[in-house]
Amino acid sequence: IPLAKVSPMRRISPLWLIPLVTLLVGVWMVYDNWSKQGPLITIEFSTAQGLQEGVTKIKTREVDVGQVEKITLNSDLNGVLVTARLNNEFRDLLREESRFWVVQPTISLSGVSGLGTLMTGQYIWLSPAKSGKEVSHFRGLDSPPLTPMNTPGLHLTLTTDGDFSFAKGDLIHYKGI
């Protein structure tokens, strides 16, 4: 009977390099994806009418800056919490005074607005603030503001005790202007 030749085994087989390299590439891909993810924010609205998870966009100046990820009822059950993720390059837009509202078609005495949403669907508009501390929780407006932030000019508050009342968006004329 021939005798078996005993030789020392190599320490590590070169085949083990394949799973090791695969694991390193997988870890790098997960880290790269995580590091490029934008901030997650929450916006409180009174209703979620027209908003859809994974569909509704967040825009500013007609540029998509984020997307709605989740919509839930708030803890008091008197509104909704919209969780959205902004693109990483727009992180600096999230300041205390930033304002959000849902753009939807409206018809009023002062005009027609938001007709583009009939084709594209409703979206959330972001009016960014230039200063203030960075935050991640916002209170959404029920309707768009009458004037954009930092609009120059005279801002008046009209009040009345009589039967005559003003409505948001009513035109005001002074000496024919």
Question: Cα separations (Å) of 26 from 17, 19, 125?
Answer: 14, 10, 36
pLDDT of 157 strictly over 80: no
pLDDT at residue number 168: 66
Higher pLDDT, 24 or 118: 24
Statement: the pTM of the whole predicted model exceeds 0.85: no
SS3 string of the chain? CCCCCCCCCCCCCHHHHHHHHHHHHHHHHHHHHHHHCCCEEEEEECCCCCCCCCCCEEEECCEEEEEEEEEEECCCCCCEEEEEEECHHHHHHCECCCEEEEECCEEECCEEECCCHHHHCCEEEEECCCCCCECCEEECECCCCCCCCCCCCCCCCCCCCCCCCCCCCCCCCCCCC
Single-letter residue type at 123: Y
At a CB cut-off of 8 Å and minimum separation 6, what does 75 contact? none
- What is the distance between the alpha carbons of residues 155 and 120, in angstroms, rounded to a whole number? 34
Q: Mean of the per-residue pLDDT values for the chain?
A: 85
What is the pLDDT confidence band of residue 176, given thresholds at 50, 70 and 90? Answer: confident
Tell me the chain's radius of gyration from C-alpha atoms: 28
pLDDT of 164 strictly over 70: no
Digit-coded pLDDT (tens) for 24-42:
999 999 999 888 888 999 9
**In 10 A of CB 122, how many CB atoms?**
19
pLDDT at residue number 11: 75
pLDDT at residue number 31: 93
pLDDT at residue number 73: 93
Lowest mean pLDDT of 9-13, 53-57, 143-147, 173-177, name the range.
Answer: 9-13
User: What is the torsional sign of CA 113, 114, 118, 119?
Assistant: positive
Query: Which residues share a beta bridge with 136?
Result: none
pLDDT of 147 strictly over 70: yes
Digit-coded pLDDT (tens) for 77-96:
899 999 999 998 988 889 98
- What is the distance between the alpha carbons of residues 68 and 54, in angstroms, rounded to a whole number? 6
pLDDT at residue number 148: 72
Digit-coded pLDDT (tens) for 16-26:
889 999 999 99
